[in-house]
Structure 1
Amino acid sequence: MTINLRLQQLIDSLDISVLEFARQLGEHRGEKVYHILHGRLKPRYDTLEKILAAYPQVNGDWLLRGEGLMFKALNSPSAAITTEERLRNMEFLLFQLTERVALLQQTNDQLLAEIKGQRE
Structure 2
Amino acid sequence: MIESRIQQLIEALNVSVLEFARQLGEHRGEKVYHILHGRMKPRYDTLEKILVAYPQVNGDWLMRGEGLMFKVLDSPSAAITVEERLRNMEFLLFQLNQRMALLQETNDLLRTDIEQMRQERNHRS
TM-score range, shorter chain: over 0.9
Q: Which residue of 2 aligns with 1:9?
A: 8
Q: Which residue of 2 aligns with 1:49?
A: 48
The 3-state SS of whatever aligns with 2:111 is: helix
**Higher helix proportion:** 2
Q: Which residue of 1 aligns with 2:86?
A: 87
Structure 2 unaligned regions, length at least 5: 120-125
Q: 4+ residue runs of structure 1 moved beyond 6 angstroms?
A: none
Aligned positions of 1:1-120 closer than 5 A: 2-75=1-74, 79-120=78-119
CA-CA distance at 1:74 after TM superposition:
2.5
- What TM-score does the superposition give when structure 1 sets the normalisation length? 0.93
Q: 1:78 to 1:25 in 2, by over 3 A?
A: farther
Q: Measure the CA separation in 2 of the matches of 1:111 and 1:90.
A: 31
Q: 1:85 to 1:27 in 2, by over 3 A?
A: same
Q: 1:65 to 1:113 in 2, by over 3 A?
A: same
CA-CA distance at 1:49 after TM superposition:
1.3
Letter in 2 for 1:29: R
CA-CA distance at 1:79 after TM superposition:
3.9
Q: Measure the CA separation in 2 of the matches of 1:99 and 1:82.
A: 26
Q: 1:99 to 1:76 in 2, by over 3 A?
A: farther
Q: Measure the CA separation in 2 of the matches of 1:36 and 1:93.
A: 24
Question: How many residues align structurally?
Answer: 119
Q: What do residues 23-43 of structure 1 show as CA deviations (whole Å, max 9, x unaligned)?
A: 111111000000011111111
More moved, 10-19 vs 67-76: 67-76
Q: Percent identity?
A: 78
Whichever of the two has the greater Rg, that structure is 2
Structure 1 unaligned regions, length at least 5: none
CA-CA distance at 1:47 after TM superposition:
1.1
On the 8 A contact 1:71/1:79 being kept in 2, the answer is no
Q: What do residues 25-78 of structure 1 show as CA deviations (whole Å, max 9, x unaligned)?
A: 111100000001111111112111111111000001111111110000132687
